[in-house]
Amino acid sequence: MQTGGAYSPSTVYAIGLSSVGLGLHALFRPRQEYGRFGLPLEAAHDRPAWPHASSGQLSKEPRQLFSETASQSSQVSPLIYLKGIRELTYGLILLGLQFEGDAAGVTITSGVLALAGLADGLVVWYHGGKENRHKAWGHWLAFASLGSWAGWRAFRAYGERAAFHALHY
């Protein structure tokens, strides 16, 4: 296994740990994650009623996992927790694949992470509002960086022959 350049384990561990950190931030500080990511908090509206465990009747008290109470003017959507879980699992996958020495798995996962950055940038551009639009460029920078790095790893692993062979299909 190659240990330098495109295949440096420290680079993979840094990316994996960063992704785990972003995931934990979204889970434990969801309100702040909206701003960091580039999306506004959602407008407050009536929350769904939750059934009481004992009586089966509905209550207006929602269960909130991981977060502080939402304010009256805006609230945290449960979707931010899905985003946090996505980041956490991406990071754990990268760390596990690197630990096991699966270079191809690291390369493929890095390419998928790059695509997530592209999509995240589009979401922020179209739904983050004008005040957050500049944050889309951060997502696109992650797309370009991770995508280029994954491409470099693939090129180093499979060589020029494989790159040109893929263009013929």
- Establish if 121 belongs to a structural domain: yes
Total domains in the fold of the chain: 1
Domain with 105 in it: 5-41+76-167
How many beta carbons lie within 10 A of that of residue 80, not counting itself?
Answer: 22
The reply to whether 151 falls in a domain is yes
Domain annotation covers residue 52 = no
Q: Could you tell me the pLDDT band of residue 53, with boundaries at 50, 70 and 90?
A: very low
Three-state DSSP state, 50? strand
Whether 68 is covered by a domain: the verdict is no
In a domain? residue 53: no
Q: Has residue 146 been placed in a domain?
A: yes
| CB neighbourhood size of 14 (10 A) | 12
Band (49; pLDDT cuts 50, 70, 90) = very low
Higher pLDDT, 128 or 63: 128
Pairwise CA distance, residues 82 & 30, whole Å: 11
Average pLDDT over residues 96-109: 96
Burial of 91 (0-12, 13-18, 19+ CB in 10 A): buried
pLDDT at 42 (0 to 100)? 86
In a domain, 62, yes or no: no
Q: How far apart are CA 130 and CA 132, in angstroms?
A: 5
* Residue-averaged pLDDT of the chain: 83
Return all residues near 45 (Cβ < 8 A) that are at least 6 apart. 75
Q: Are 110 and 91 in contact (CB under 8 A)?
A: no
Q: Is residue 88 part of a domain?
A: yes
Rounded Cα–Cα distance for residues 38 and 127 (Å): 9
Answer yes or no: is pLDDT of 58 > 60: no
Nearest alpha-carbon partner for 145 in 104, 98, 169, 110: 110
Dist. CA 89–CA 27, nearest whole Å: 12
Predicted local confidence at residue 6, as pLDDT = 73
**pLDDT per residue over 139-155, tens digit each?**
999 999 999 999 999 88
pTM of the model: 0.76
Question: Which stretches does DSSP call E strand in 103-161?
Answer: none
